[in-house]
């Protein structure tokens, strides 16, 4: 059949759901447990290294770059070890029932698409950066509230900027708007997983969660992305944070440090030269993530050195309700 497909309107509207990722791993574990129960063998469920954690499934796009000036001086991986030891000394936080983890964060993401959505622009592909500010309240039972402010984009080309507003894409992006979103069901990207505090056990579990397939970023990158995904906007026990840093300390990563923070960076090639950095505060909380494109892109036009993803986070705090903290 080669006629038009009316169902395409539905497919295009709903798009593709994100990869099953860790849900697949959990599903397989459940099935393995059922199989084991039937067989009557007393062995733990096997885990397959197949998961694609949603947050690590980020296949960052094309393009560009410039020199990135890391703050602070180059330090050995022992800076991570020292930070891990410091984190182990931090008192654990008890989260009262019904309380929320609150985080304020700022994000810049690369948005792009076909040029034909931009009147008068002849480029096949265009891109721009869209900044947002977000407050998140996350409760253990999966209740999540996000309050997101979307700010005016940054453009690389004045023609694209003009066309963007002419086409009304600012309204589509919700520029200038504050949107409150509530999820009543689980949004935990790692449902049911209890992170080990032993480095070797944690590393083994993390290895199972990253995809072992062609076309994926290098192992170091995936593990660093996974660490960020675990810590992002969540209350994570200090001993787990410490173990995460200990895992990173075993990897071939560039480590820089200041008095207040340690930054871990990896440069790699994933359709373009990329430089991914994650910064931790002195209690091993995630405070920034940045991905920089190291080669300029002609189409879509993106200047060299553009941070195509940049996020900053306040360390999560516990608040009793959705009205806290007061502005």
Residues within the interface to another protein (CB under 8 A): 1-20, 23-24, 26-28, 30-32, 34-35, 38-39, 55, 58, 60-62, 107, 109-114, 117, 127, 130, 136, 142, 144, 146, 148, 169, 172, 179, 181, 183, 185-187, 191, 232, 309, 311
- In the complex, what is the shortest distance from the CB of residue 27 to another protein, in angstroms, rounded to a whole number? 4
Q: Name the strand (E) or helix (H) holding 240.
A: helix 238-249
- In the complex, what is the shortest distance from the CB of residue 269 to another protein, in angstroms, rounded to a whole number? 18
β strands within the chain, DSSP E: 73-74, 100-114, 125-139, 144-150, 154-155, 178-183, 254-257, 261-269, 273-281, 286-293, 307-313, 317-319
- In the complex, what is the shortest distance from the CB of residue 74 to another protein, in angstroms, rounded to a whole number? 28
Find out whether 196 and 209 touch, Cβ atoms under 8 Å: no
| Angstrom distance (rounded) from CA 172 to CA 301 | 22
Among candidates 56, 93, 88, which has minimal Cα distance to 230? 56
Residue with Cβ nearer another protein (60 or 261):
60
- In the complex, what is the shortest distance from the CB of residue 205 to another protein, in angstroms, rounded to a whole number? 18
Place of tokens 């290294």: 49
Residue with Cβ nearer another protein (86 or 147):
147
Q: Name the strand (E) or helix (H) holding 159.
A: helix 158-166
Residue with Cβ nearer another protein (13 or 67):
13
| Angstrom distance (rounded) from CA 179 to CA 116 | 28
Residue with Cβ nearer another protein (11 or 74):
11
Find out whether 234 and 251 touch, Cβ atoms under 8 Å: no
Residue with Cβ nearer another protein (71 or 271):
271
Residue with Cβ nearer another protein (20 or 82):
20
- In the complex, what is the shortest distance from the CB of residue 10 to another protein, in angstroms, rounded to a whole number? 5
Residue with Cβ nearer another protein (87 or 224):
224
- In the complex, what is the shortest distance from the CB of residue 84 to another protein, in angstroms, rounded to a whole number? 25
DSSP 295: S
Tokens found for residue 61? 């796009």
- In the complex, what is the shortest distance from the CB of residue 161 to another protein, in angstroms, rounded to a whole number? 14
1 contact partners, CB below 8 Å, separation of at least 6: none
């Amino acid at each position: 059949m080669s006629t038009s497909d009316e169902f395409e309107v539905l497919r295009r509207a709903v798009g593709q759901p994100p990869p099953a990722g860790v849900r697949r791993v959990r599903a397989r574990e459940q099935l393995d447990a059922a199989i084991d129960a039937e067989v009557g063998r007393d062995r733990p469920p096997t885990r397959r290294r197949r998961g694609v954690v949603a947050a690590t499934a980020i296949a960052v796009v094309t393009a560009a770059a410039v020199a990135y000036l890391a703050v602070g001086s180059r330090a050995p991986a022992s800076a991570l070890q020292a930070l891990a030891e410091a984190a182990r000394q931090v008192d654990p936080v008890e989260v009262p029932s019904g309380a929320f983890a609150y985080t304020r964060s700022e994000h810049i993401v690369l948005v792009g698409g076909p040029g034909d959505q931009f009147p008068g622009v002849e480029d096949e592909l265009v891109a721009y950066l869209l900044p947002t500010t977000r407050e998140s309240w996350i409760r253990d039972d999966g209740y999540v509230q996000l309050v997101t402010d979307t700010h005016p984009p940054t453009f690389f080309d004045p023609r694209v900027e003009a066309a963007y507003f002419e086409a009304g894409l600012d309204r589509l992006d919700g520029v200038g708007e504050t949107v409150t979103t509530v999820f009543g069901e689980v949004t935990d990207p790692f449902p049911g997983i209890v992170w080990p505090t032993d480095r070797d056990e944690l590393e083994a579990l993390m290895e199972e969660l990253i995809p072992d397939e062609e076309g994926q970023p290098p192992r170091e990158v995936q593990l660093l992305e996974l660490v960020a995904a675990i810590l992002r906007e969540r209350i994570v026990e200090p001993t787990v944070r410490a173990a995460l840093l200990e895992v990173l300390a075993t990897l071939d990563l560039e480590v820089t440090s200041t008095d207040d923070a340690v930054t871990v960076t990896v440069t790699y090639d994933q359709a373009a030269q990329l430089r991914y950095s994650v910064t931790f505060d002195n209690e091993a909380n995630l405070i920034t993530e940045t991905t920089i494109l190291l080669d300029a892109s002609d189409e879509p036009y993106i200047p060299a050195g553009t941070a195509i993803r940049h996020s900053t986070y306040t360390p999560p705090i516990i608040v009793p309700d959705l009205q806290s903290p007061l502005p």
